[in-house]
Structure 1
Amino acid sequence: MIATTETVEILDRCENLGQIVLQSDVYEQYIQAKEELEKDREAQRLIKGFQDTKDHYEDVQRFGRYHPDYNTIMKDVREKKREMDMHDRVATYKIAERNLQKLLDEISQIVAFSISEQIKVPKDGMLFQDSGGCGCGSGGGCGCS
């Protein structure tokens, strides 16, 4: 690709947009929530416990229902996840993360739709979901939405 004046201008505008996002309240709230989460020992203990249980769950999943620990690990994963998700710092972080993702998705949609309404954009944190809302890739013509 040969760099043209137009290409350089587009890249400059993208850089400016990135700086605007980095200076936004949404990003500041995300960074603050992340720092508080990282400093909270109880939250880190819960996250570590969930990760360890999830690793064991993945081992058990290879054998499915035939594994002797299947029912136990399924219950443990749900309990650990719920306990982790109910912690204030974890919940605050997840909300901040979701808000930042929503902002980035909205920016992507505005940029894409300024070119064409037919461009697929990230939506609700999912890549390439159809703008028609059904997600099957048909552009909404299938009627499944």
Structure 2
Amino acid sequence: MFATIESVNLIDEAELLGSLVVESEIAEDYRRTLNTLNKDKSAQKVIAKFVEIKDLYEDVQRFGKYHPDYKEITKAMREAKRELDLHDAVIAFKKAEKELQSLLDEISAELGRAVSQHIKVPTGNPFFDTGSSCGGGCGSGGGCGCKAS
């Protein structure tokens, strides 16, 4: 590919947009909550416990209800997940992560719409995924029952 003035300008603009996102208050909040989460000893204990039980749970899922410890490990998994989801540092991090993802989704959708209304932007966010019954851009050629708009 030959570098043209236009492509160099586009790359410069993309780098500027990336810098603006990185320097945004939303990204700063994300980094701050991630740092807080990583330094929180009680949160790290809860995460480690969850990961340990998750590994056991995945092993149990291979055999399903026929595994001898199915009920105990399934219950322990639900309890560990609940403990994880209710930890303040985890809640703050998930909220910041969701806000950053929403910003990125909005930027992706805006860029896609700037090129064409028919571009499918896989955001994972139903607010931005419009025009098909499967959330946009399944790539199966309508095999899932969706139709391009």
* Partner of residue 7, structure 1: 7
Q: What SS does structure 1 have at the residue aligned with 2:115?
A: coil
SS in structure 1 opposite 2:122?
strand
Alpha-carbon distance in structure 1 between the residues aligned to 2:99 and 2:14? 21
In the TM superposition, what whole-angstrom CA distance separates every residue of 1:42-74 from its partner, at most 9, and x where no partner exists? 000000000111111111111112111112111
Deviation, structure 1 residue 2: 2.1
When you count strand as a share of all residues, which structure comes out higher?
Answer: 1
Give the ranges of 4+ consecutive aligned residues of structure 1 lying more than 2 Å apart after TM superposition: 122-126, 129-134, 136-141
CA shift, 1:120, in A, is 1.4
In structure 2, the residue matched to 1:17 is 17
8 Å Cα contact 1:134-1:140 kept in structure 2: no
Using the aligned pairs only, state the percent identity: 46
Listed as ranges, the gaps of 5+ residues in structure 2 are 139-145
CA RMSD of aligned residues (A): 1.9
Match of 1:48 in 2: 48
Query: Could you tell me how far apart the structure 1 residues matched to 2:51 and 2:125 are?
Result: 22
SS of 1:134 mapped into structure 2: coil
TM-score, reference length from structure 2: 0.85
Say if 1:132 and 1:140, in contact at 8 Å, map to a contact too: yes
Q: What's the TM-score, normalizing by structure 1?
A: 0.87
- Three-state SS of the structure 2 residue aligned to 1:62 is helix
Give the Cα separation in 2 of the matches to 1:2 and 1:69.
Answer: 61
